[in-house]
A and B are shown apart, each in its own frame.
Chain A
Amino acid sequence: MADLAAYRAVLASRIRAQRSYRTSFVLDLASSLLVGFVELAEVWVVFHAVTELGGLDLAAVVLVFGLADLAFSLADLSFGHCDTLPTYLRAGTLDVFYLRPQPLLLQLITSDISLRRLARAVVGAAALGVGLAVNDVAWSLASVALIVLALVSGIATFAAMFVWAAGAQFYLIDGAEATNAFVYGGRYAATQPASVWSRPLVVVFGFFFPMAFTAYLPVVTLLGLPGPEWMPTWLGWCAPVAALWAWVLALLTWRAGVRHYQGGGG
């Protein structure tokens, strides 16, 4: 347990550090809350203009958004800091991490935990709550299990995306935006009805990066909706398999990246 105590101490210090600049912290929280609202508004504007899209109505898409966004913001809370890896690589400061007796990936994750991202999770959680209330959910042990399973797998899948992106940064460095296409593009994709996607999108965001499994497919299963033709209705239960695949992909990429890294010199 001594190992864990070290992580706890590091994380606690990060949390205290953020709260010490009170005005900046409050402004950050408010802005993050607004981020969540605007993202919900983007979905709402489209569904306001049409009544139904890809087999989902506004109520169902709010549920998809809530599930996906809550999972993403919780993953972002703990793993989002992987995004700063290119900065460390360019500045050569990553080498410092190698001197400490903790695994590199764990250090990177605990090097910051952004409390302001909790504010975003609030919007996701509210949307999920509203979505569950306004939809006609057949409540049973199975449906509760499905929601919990989808949420936990969704968090794991998005977290894997951050780790995958970090692994790819060792090769890309300046090309960080290429991974944003799949990490943040993935978040955007996860809040959409996957039934409207073209075949290449189904391959990329449906299965290779299993974004459809984080929210859309579980919601289709939960509400008993007619899904797209490429899925049987029980596919929503496979979210854990998708999360497992995402982690295999992430850890392989991370391992390759770390082996590729030659150090910053000096």
Chain B
Amino acid sequence: MRTYLRLFVAGFRRQSTYRLAAFGGLVANTAFGLLKVALLFAAVRTSGGELAGYDVAMMSSYIWISQGMLGSVNLTGRTEIADRIRTGDVAVDFLRPLDVHLASVTTEVGRAVFALIPRGIPSVVIGALLVGMAVPEDPWAYPLGAVSLLLGIVVSATTVYLVGVSGFWLLETRGVALLYMVVSGFLAGLFVPIALFPDWLRLVATATPFPAMMMYPVDVLSGRVGGAAAVGLVALQVLWLVLTVAAGQLATRAGRRRLEVQGG
């Protein structure tokens, strides 16, 4: 357990050295956030101040919390493990007295949690100052929201790990990663909240782990979904966590048997 804690801290500290990158990310978050504010606020206003349960303040919370999570939730499909499998470095990882799957996920989560400091919190503060936003009335929304946020980050790491280990069979995972990138952002509710989707599309989204990465934490943190329903969303995240971890364990074991490393 201590080892994994150390890996978490290492991931956290590694990310902290890229300050300029974090600043660049914040600029991007703010610019995209303001564009989303313009479009989605106009959509709320033209439908008479309420759209699919969103008023302007709630829409603002959705926009800035989701923008803030962008640096922490992996929606690009790119992972280090994919590169290590392609180059064969993963053979070294298997020699270590560690679970390759858990070690890789833990490092990724460490980096993601760090990203909340330079990108997550400032995005929300900028949004609150520039536009204003709704805050949950129920004090329980904050601890539950924190749990949901962390679960979202972990589910994104365990899901994207599956994209990486597909490299055991495919070698080049660029196509799969691109597919992941296209689908994940849309179904996680990055551009438009899932509540605005037509019914069939919302069903499709709910059948994937993507809303568990971003939409559910945003719903809990913003107080749009409260009480028992919020606990239900967190339970759904736990379910996706269990499923993706199980799949990751199986894929890692099967991949290990399949692994061929060239050269001595």
Chain A: interface residue total (CB-CB under 8 A):
42
B21 and A175: CB pair below 8 A?
Answer: yes
Q: Closest Cβ of chain A: how far from B185's Cβ, in Å?
A: 8
CA distance A174 to B24 in the complex (A): 8
* CB-based nearest A residue for B27: A178
Q: Which of A28, A35, A172, A196 contacts B38 (CB 8 A)?
A: A196
B38 and A38: CB pair below 8 A?
Answer: no
A49 and B51: CB pair below 8 A?
Answer: yes
Interface residue A205 (Cβ < 8 Å from any Cβ of B):
yes
> Which residues of B lie under 8 Å from residue A205 when comparing CB positions?
35
SS of A interface (majority): helix
Q: Scoring A residues 27 to 70 as 1 if CB is less than 8 Å from chain B, else 0, what string do you get?
A: 11011101100100110011011101110000000000000000
CA distance A217 to B174 in the complex (A): 37
* CB-based nearest A residue for B176: A27
Known: A49-B196, A50-B43. A178 touches B28 (CB 8 A): yes
Interface residue B191 (Cβ < 8 Å from any Cβ of A):
yes
Q: Closest Cβ of chain B: how far from A124's Cβ, in Å?
A: 15
CA distance A196 to B174 in the complex (A): 37
Interface residue B188 (Cβ < 8 Å from any Cβ of A):
no
A174 and B21: CB pair below 8 A?
Answer: yes
B172 and A178: CB pair below 8 A?
Answer: no
B39 and A53: CB pair below 8 A?
Answer: yes
Most chain B CB within 10 A, of A30, A188, A204, is at A188
Interface residue B140 (Cβ < 8 Å from any Cβ of A):
no
Interface residue B97 (Cβ < 8 Å from any Cβ of A):
no
Q: Closest Cβ of chain B: how far from A54's Cβ, in Å?
A: 6
Known: A41-B186, A42-B191. A196 touches B24 (CB 8 A): no
Known: A46-B192, A46-B196. A54 touches B42 (CB 8 A): yes
> Which residues of A lie under 8 Å from residue B178 when comparing CB positions?
28, 31-32, 35
B39 and A182: CB pair below 8 A?
Answer: no
CA distance A64 to B201 in the complex (A): 24
Interface residue A235 (Cβ < 8 Å from any Cβ of B):
no
CA distance A29 to B18 in the complex (A): 33
Interface residue B25 (Cβ < 8 Å from any Cβ of A):
yes
CA distance A182 to B191 in the complex (A): 17
> Which residues of B lie under 8 Å from residue A185 when comparing CB positions?
28, 31-32, 35
Interface residue B146 (Cβ < 8 Å from any Cβ of A):
no
B28 and A24: CB pair below 8 A?
Answer: no
Q: Closest Cβ of chain B: how far from A6's Cβ, in Å?
A: 29
Known: A24-B175, A177-B24. A48 touches B198 (CB 8 A): yes
B42 and A196: CB pair below 8 A?
Answer: yes
- Segment 132-158 of A: residues with Cβ below 8 Å from B: none
> Which residues of B lie under 8 Å from residue A54 when comparing CB positions?
42
Interface residue A130 (Cβ < 8 Å from any Cβ of B):
no
Q: Which of A45, A173, A182, A196 contacts B192 (CB 8 A)?
A: A45
Interface residue B23 (Cβ < 8 Å from any Cβ of A):
yes
In the complex, 21 of the A-B residue pairs with CB atoms within 8 angstroms, ordered by the A residue number, are: A24-B174, A28-B174, A31-B182, A35-B178, A45-B201, A46-B192, A49-B196, A50-B43, A52-B46, A174-B20, A177-B24, A178-B24, A181-B27, A181-B28, A181-B30, A182-B31, A188-B35, A189-B35, A198-B34, A200-B34, A201-B34
Which A residues are closer than 8 A to B by beta carbons? Answer: 24, 27-28, 30-32, 34-35, 38, 41-42, 45-46, 48-50, 52-54, 172-182, 185, 188-189, 192-193, 196-198, 200-201, 204-205
Top 6 A-B pairs, shortest CB-CB distance: A175-B24, A27-B175, A177-B24, A178-B24, A196-B42, A181-B31
